Amino acid sequence: MQLETKALETRDASSREIKEAFGEFLNAFESFKEANDERLAQIEKRSADAVTEEKVERINKALETQKRALDELMLSAARPALGGESKTANDRIARERKAAFDSYVRKGDASGFHSLEVKAMSVGSNPDGGYVVPLEIAETIDRILAKVSPIRALATVRQIGGNVYRKPISTNDPGTGWVAETDARPQTSTPNLSALDFPAMELYAMPAATQTLLDDAQVDIEQWLADEVQIVFAEQEGAAFINGNGTTQPKGILSYTNVADGSWTWGNIGYIASGAAGAFAGSNPSDQLLDLAYAPKQAYRANATWVMNRKVEAAIRKFKDTQGNYIWAPGLAAGQPATLFGFPVAVAEDMPDIAANSYSIAFGDFARGYLVVDRVGIRVLRDPYSAKPYVLFYTTKRVGGGVQNFEAIKLMKFAVS
């Protein structure tokens, strides 16, 4: 009961902290709008004050800082607890598996795994001594990754058992036509089928700990490993899903051939030009954003999301529509994303800053447009020899990814055309 009370008090404190942070964020946004309105009024009168410009930028940066702090609080609050007692047979095996893994990590004792292999065929080992991470830890890492890496959270994720996931696709529609009751029915064209391959690449992390730390019974090995690994995996995945080369990494959305949307063909990603080199258009800059929002077909707009980094979001935050309303709006509650023209905004720091010919904004249905493939299982190899007095934990995960529907995602190119 005492532990339950402490847990409830911790959750209540976390909830209050999130509400306070969200309130501060909304207050900062109101201050930003007031300062930006003053700046726009001065521009219209051609008497822009450098002090006002500096004030707007200062509040804008403070807004970014508060938003980042709020995101971190939400991520921390959403982190699932590991462990838990249960009396079912499966959970007993799960506890034994975790105990065996704990013994392996702390002392290098793998005997627990060998006895478990008799009870549960799902527990295996590599010939080189690497052991499968218990499912509870693997799921924890994946849940945290989904929140840290926005593309993974938006995309379709498939679990695969082999090295490559092959997806057959039709690149054109079958021919059709209207006929009268007694007209002849000539043969129509047949849709072309092709296949997209998504190989699983290897992603690794190698956190280290001293043997003294591992011997300490107070250390939560599962949580420690999940926390260490998720940071590296999230950073590497986030970068690869945007800019990955497709050979040793998943293929990122910016690594495909991009063409003007009016000349779009399958296998390429269409783009809308911003109207100026390395910048938004000088007048009515939100018009090009609206064009981008309507570039995908209606079927893809229904579940569409904007993807950009914080600097680009900060620039767009200043824009208004023709009615004088800000086109960017904060989420209605803590944990809800900001919106742009009513569509959610996902911040991906690996998206490029605005520059000449950069593709700094993506928009579309990423669940239908991008596929992430996870090879089942995360493995750990314990190495107490290479970096004494530290014990290294060579942790590997195989993950791939790429565009699966080239119609569903569009980009903004910061250029005249």
DSSP letter string, 161-207: SSSEEEEEEESSPPP-----TT---PPPPPPPEEEEEEEPEEEEE--
- Mean pLDDT lowest among 8-12, 144-148, 165-169, 225-229: 8-12
Rounded CA-CA distance 399/325 in Å is: 42
Output 100 or 237, whichever has higher pLDDT.
237
User: Residue 189: what pLDDT?
Assistant: 73
pLDDT band (50, 70, 90) for residue 137: low
User: Residue 83: what pLDDT?
Assistant: 43
* DSSP annotation string for 199-248: EPEEEEE--EEEHHHHH-TTS-HHHHHHHHHHHHHHHHHHHHHHH-BSSS
For residue 392, the cross-strand partners are 208, 383
Main-chain dihedrals φ then ψ at residue 397, nearest 5 degrees: -145, 140
Rounded CA-CA distance 136/375 in Å is: 16
User: Residue 140: what pLDDT?
Assistant: 65
State yes or no: pLDDT of 203 exceeds 80.
yes
State yes or no: pLDDT of 124 exceeds 70.
no
State yes or no: pLDDT of 108 exceeds 90.
no
pLDDT band (50, 70, 90) for residue 135: low
Q: Yes or no: say if 144 and 153 are a contact pair by the CB < 8 Å rule.
A: no
Listed residue (106, 98, 102, 143) closest to 123, CA to CA: 98
User: Residue 8: what pLDDT?
Assistant: 46
User: Residue 79: what pLDDT?
Assistant: 53
User: Residue 19: what pLDDT?
Assistant: 75
State yes or no: pLDDT of 87 exceeds 70.
no
User: Residue 117: what pLDDT?
Assistant: 45
pTM over 0.75: no
pLDDT band (50, 70, 90) for residue 315: very high
- Mean pLDDT over each residue of the chain, to the nearest integer: 79
Main-chain dihedrals φ then ψ at residue 281, nearest 5 degrees: -60, 145
Residues 6+ apart with CB under 8 A from 84: none
Torsion over CA: 63, 68, 69, 73 (sign): positive
Query: Could you check whether the bond before residue 191 is cis, i.e. omega within 30 degrees of 0?
Result: no
Query: Which of the given ranges, 42-56, 198-212, 266-280, 379-393, has the highest pLDDT on average?
Result: 266-280
pLDDT band (50, 70, 90) for residue 133: low
Give the mean pLDDT of 342-352.
Answer: 93
User: Residue 39: what pLDDT?
Assistant: 75
- Mean pLDDT lowest among 39-53, 251-265, 268-282: 39-53
Helix (H, G, I), strand (E, B) or coil at 358: coil
State yes or no: pLDDT of 14 exceeds 80.
no
Give the mean pLDDT of 137-162.
Answer: 78
State yes or no: pLDDT of 141 exceeds 80.
no
Return the CATH architecture of domain 84-170+192-309+348-417.
2-Layer Sandwich (3.30)
Give the mean pLDDT of 73-88.
Answer: 52
Give the mean pLDDT of 56-62.
Answer: 77
Pairing of strands 156-160, 370-387: parallel
pLDDT band (50, 70, 90) for residue 256: very high
In the chain, what percentage of residues exceed pLDDT 70? Answer: 73
